[in-house]
Amino acid sequence: MEDMIFYDRLQFAFTITFHYIFPQLTMGLSLIIVFLKGLYLRKKVEKYNDAAKFLMKIFAINFTMGVITGIPMEFQFGTNWAKFSELTGGIIGQTLAMEGMFSFFLESSFLALFIFGEKLMGQKLHFLTGFLVFLGSWASGWFILATNAWMQHPVGYEVLENGKYVLENFSALFTNPWLLPAFLHNQLASVVTSSFVVASIGAFYILRQKNIEYGKLFLKTGVIFGLISSLLVAFPTGDWNAKNVAKYQPASFAAMEGIFETEEAGAEIVLIGQPNMVEKKLDNKIAVPNILSFLTYQEWDKQIVGMDHFEEDELPDNIPALYYSYHIMVGLGTIFIGVMSLAGFFLWRKKLYNIKPLLWTIMFLVPFPYIANITGWYVAELGRQPYLVYGLLKTADGVSPTVSSGNTLFTLLGFVALYMLLGLLFLVLVGKAIHQGPKHQTH
């Protein structure tokens, strides 16, 4: 049974990790595309329109890959997680269906119109199609996060005699106190990824002395969006999410902060340390006293309960992975703020385009926002364990009893091979689009 649960979780973790490489770019990129198209309408400068259409090509490649890699995840609800789907389908099925019916079709329909319909529709309607693509991509995130928010903090439900969960209050799904901070944090994090991608394309063009005018536009746009979004990801949205975890999932909060023992006179914030699960402590710890209590409750000496306050079976089942994921996410976020602040300063001083070390740094930092986004999701999902629906449904009770661990492992290996090919195809297509550059080049 333990092997079956392990492989079911491993397969879903792998497929959703690979899948989320793509939506985090499309959600943020759609906002930047709307911004550039709006600039074109206001200033009538052709490079803004060319830039928007160029980025929409990259958006389309990402969107297609996101669709392809998203389908297997839906099937896993009926194969590996059939019991979970049977018990909670009356609730999560509604938000997932709304995501497919409303957001996906809105996004895909107007994406085609944006790419192929500019001459037919005119510029104002073309801008509208871009805005609707943005609206569809963010609405998709809203419905998915509404589903996840219910799993993190279940509200508005009742339990039938057969053990199934059904909605008692539909509006509670969308007024869930977990939803808004998680949505804003997730969407702004996707803008961080997109900003680094756009800025890195600009840095690449400038360093290669190719498409210089577009390079400067992409770099400037990416730095401005990246600086604003990086700051907002940390505060207020990151702070808001952390306070929600402390309030609704205190065991998870203690684990991700590395608090093994309850600290009565205020909790320290750990900068560096390694969880020692044998001795129940952090090794090689560097910490600042009382800061965590102040950040969480605005009181220096406020108690924060440690993992010793909870029963063993109520704690997350992989505390080191949760702890490291959280600290990787926070550490990378701090680096993003630093790099984008420095780039913003030199942009303001009109020197950014000539500072090659900083351009190289921006270009090679591109993978790290992806890592930060994915580890952020690991924090949310590892923190919820050992539950699928926090406080209601244990993970062990949601698996499909008829799907063997061997079958799951076999299909997992198939997914790994297939996704490696898809990943290579994605890199080739995006690389080719970047090499070709925007349609109208300025020399």
pLDDT tens string 350-396: 999 999 999 999 999 999 999 999 999 999 999 999 999 999 999 99
Mean pLDDT of the chain: 93
pLDDT at 442: 42
Domain that holds residue 358: 2-262+305-436
Tell me phi and psi for residue 271, to 5 degrees: -90, -45
Task: Out of 173-177, 246-250, 398-402, pick the least confident.
Answer: 398-402
The pLDDT tens digits of the residues spanning 404-417 come to 889 999 999 999 99
Give me the number of domains the chain comprises: 1
| Mean pLDDT, residues 136-157 | 95
Q: Is residue 268 part of a domain?
A: no
Could you say which DSSP state residue 262 is in?
A: -
The residue with tokens 């680094």 is 196
pLDDT at 1: 60
In sign, the C-alpha dihedral spanning 309, 313, 315, 317 is positive
Q: Is residue 285 part of a domain?
A: no
Residue 343 has pLDDT above 80, yes or no: yes
Residue 105, C-beta contacts closer than 8 angstroms, at least 6 positions apart = 136
pLDDT at 238: 95
Residue 43, C-beta contacts closer than 8 angstroms, at least 6 positions apart = none
| Mean pLDDT, residues 262-283 | 90
Q: Is residue 291 part of a domain?
A: no
The residue with tokens 């993190």 is 152
Q: Is residue 391 part of a domain?
A: yes
Output the six-digit token pair for 177.
Answer: 């106190």
pLDDT at 101: 79
pLDDT at 440: 53
The pLDDT tens digits of the residues spanning 2-35 come to 788 999 999 999 999 999 999 999 999 999 999 9
* 276 three-state secondary structure: strand
Q: Is residue 427 part of a domain?
A: yes
pLDDT bracket for residue 441 (50, 70, 90): very low
Q: Is residue 99 part of a domain?
A: yes
The more confidently predicted of residues 79 and 223 is 223
pLDDT at 443: 37
Q: With beta carbons less than 8 A apart as the criterion, state whether 214 and 51 touch.
A: yes
For residues 426 and 205, give the distance between their C-alpha atoms in angstroms, rounded to a whole number.
20
pLDDT bracket for residue 123 (50, 70, 90): very high
| Mean pLDDT, residues 299-324 | 93
| Mean pLDDT, residues 210-220 | 96
pLDDT at 403: 86
DSSP string, 332-360: HHHHHHHHHHHHHHHHHTT-GGG-HHHHH
Q: Is residue 86 part of a domain?
A: yes
| Mean pLDDT, residues 132-137 | 95
Task: Out of 116-125, 146-155, 198-207, pick the least confident.
Answer: 116-125
Q: Is residue 181 part of a domain?
A: yes
Residue 346 has pLDDT above 90, yes or no: yes
pLDDT at 266: 83
Work out whether strand 281-288 and strand 269-276 pair parallel, antiparallel, or are unpaired. Answer: antiparallel
Residue 81, C-beta contacts closer than 8 angstroms, at least 6 positions apart = 8, 12, 388, 398, 399, 400
The pLDDT tens digits of the residues spanning 51-97 come to 999 999 999 999 999 999 988 888 888 889 999 999 999 999 889 88
